[in-house]
A and B are shown apart, each in its own frame.
Chain A
Amino acid sequence: MPETLLHIKDLSVRFFTYQGVVRALEEVNLAVLKGEILGLVGETGCGKSVLARSVLRLIADPPGKIWRGEIFFKGENLLKMSSRRLRHIRGNEISMIFQEPMSSLNPVFRVGNQMQEVVMLHRRVGSAAAREICIDMLRQVKMPDPDAVLSKYPHELSGGMRQRAMIAMELSCRPELLIADEPTTALDVTVQAQVLSILEELTRKKDVSVLFISHDLGVIAQLCDRVAVMYAGRTVEVASVWDLFSEPRHPYTRGLIRAIPRVDEEREILAVIPGVVPGLIRPPKGCRFHPRCEAVMHPCDRVTPRLVEVAPGHQVACHLYKESGEEHDADTRH
């Protein structure tokens, strides 16, 4: 078993708005192991990006607040450390790639200046050496003519090129963990495939762990080692890619997988999960999925299920499953 690099424990994040308190994350548990690519899937608004930003403490405060919980990175609690230490970790050890490659680069500086700046700061090298590193990194992300790219402004690059430049920039600092928040959502499908293969190749080669956030199950299946499924601010299932797709346990995961259109099947109507994602100001009591669940039963609307291990490395938060050997304590807790 490889060691745990990032461990998120019972993390709750709340946003205090005029309409009420948004419980964006509620007791989320997640671990990223060394060298793995962990996928994080869920619908829009289920808290994926909030989770990603919480790791680097990038939640805007106000209105957001990390309410409870701990995030350990190599044994250190990120939520308790000094801002100085945190700044050192940001970029040096944990890097992040954002959703919108269009706005991730400062429009008034040349790509080269921005990349060199980051490299010079993090690797403590002179500008000439930094330039060499940048060119080398751009070559590694298969950027055509890296020398010319460095002297261009961000708006002169295409979306795919910008995202590759961002990957190059973030990986040039040799982080141990890369958080990729839907890095390919804004790109078209062919470019998406290209960027993903570059991301996978580079992170595997450099032994960088990745927390890969997406709402695209196809991308997750292709790229990741393990998957965590989120629903309405909670983790509902964590498993290896193989287990999750061959044997999904949580009714929500099953619904998601059933909703993927398949080429080898003739189906007139796309399978859907009825209902919509609940608002997080007044989320449903108990299991947040129960109003839409096909297997809803007695304790679901009152008792929140905990993540339990149903098979080696396969955790589910659902009343349908009991941890092997441990009695179901739903009624006693209630």
Chain B
Amino acid sequence: MKRIRKEREWQIRELMFTIKLLSKNPSAVAGFVIIATMVFIAVGAPYIAPYDPIKISLRERLSPPSPVHIFGTDEMGRDILSRVMHGARISLRIGVLVIAIAGSLGAAIGAVAGYLGKQADNIIMRIMDVILSFPPLVLAMALAAALGPNLNNAILAVAFVMIPKFARMVRGEALAVKEKQFIAAARASGAGSLWIIFHHIIPNCFSSVIILATLLLGETILIAASLSFIGLGAQPPTPEWGAMISVGRKFLMDQWWYPTFPGLFILMTVIGFNILGDALRDIFDPRIRR
């Protein structure tokens, strides 16, 4: 009992230490603030958005930013601020789900290939190469179309496209890690391949997986948006950032506010994830932690 309590206390101390490190790192704070804001907007959208995002009001169509509609309105007179806020829900959900699925599967596949080597590596990585040889958007389109156009299928399609990116990177890392002596030591003390892959290889690849995940979050959100644009992702009238940009594109010359605000939100989200991920890597790397 005493041990468990001690362990718990220790975990809390470790967490406080992490928070302290985080607060000392300016880019981490900036990234964290941006992402926290996005998450807050996404979670709170139904309560803080001033209007219903899908309520049409044709009399107010394409009105410029004003105190009434801070970000203006679109061609149906819907409030763009409210739509952008609700869009955060969708885009963040897509990003997180896709990266979670692709990251875990990709890391597992890459680690298995890298560690086992030989034929297993050859077969697995050639399959990954086949997937990589398609432009990601085209393959995602084909998959989404085959599965049927809706948001969940779009998520699966984008995740599938992202798997080889993780697999390839983790495989490379695994090749380096498996030559380390602690792997030989683990084998010498009777560890099996699966144990080594999941207890030694993958944890050692973690920091680069986090970096890649943050980088790909942006791409993921963009691909998902593109799918929505051609009607294979979020279905209208769902407020999705990418779909909004795509539709708003033709209004850019005269009604600049229509595609600009969703675009700014995508930009902010992607930058936020990138700098946060970068800072997190530094903070969680045990070699520079203390």
Contacts and interface: CB of A to CB of B under 8 A. Distances in A.
Contact of B184 (A58, A88, A92): A58
Contact of B287 (A92, A155, A169, A173): A155
A173 B182 contact: no
Interface stretch (A93-101, A274-282, A298-306): A93-101
Interface string A94-133: 1110111001111111000000011001100000100100
Contacts of A118: 189
Interface in B164-204: 180-182, 184-192, 199-200, 203-204
A103 B185 CA distance: 9
A56 interface: yes
Nearest to B290: A156
A166 interface: yes
Given A103-B182, A128-B3, A91 B188 contact: yes
A296 interface: no
Nearest to A106: B182
A169 to B, nearest CB: 8
B184 A98 contact: yes
Contacts of A151: 10
Contacts, number: 75
Contact of A96 (B188, B199, B203): B188
B51 interface: no
A106 B188 contact: no
B286 interface: yes
Judged by DSSP, the binding face of B is helix
B256 interface: no
Contacts of B180: 103
B206 interface: yes
A98 B184 CA distance: 9
B181 A90 contact: no
A108 B190 CA distance: 20
Given A106-B204, A128-B3, A153 B184 contact: no
A89 B190 contact: yes
Contacts of B286: 107-108, 153, 155
A170 interface: yes
A90 B189 contact: yes
A154 to B, nearest CB: 9
Contacts of B188: 56, 58, 90-91, 94-96, 98, 179
A121 B287 CA distance: 27
Contacts of B199: 117
B203 A106 contact: yes
The 10 closest A-B pairs by CB, nearest first: A91-B189, A91-B190, A90-B190, A96-B188, A103-B181, A106-B182, A153-B286, A87-B190, A104-B185, A104-B181
Given A105-B182, A109-B203, A128-B3, 4 more contacts: A90-B188, A103-B181, A107-B204, A117-B199
15 contacts: A58-B184, A87-B192, A88-B190, A90-B188, A104-B181, A105-B182, A105-B185, A106-B204, A108-B204, A108-B206, A122-B189, A131-B3, A151-B10, A153-B290, A166-B185
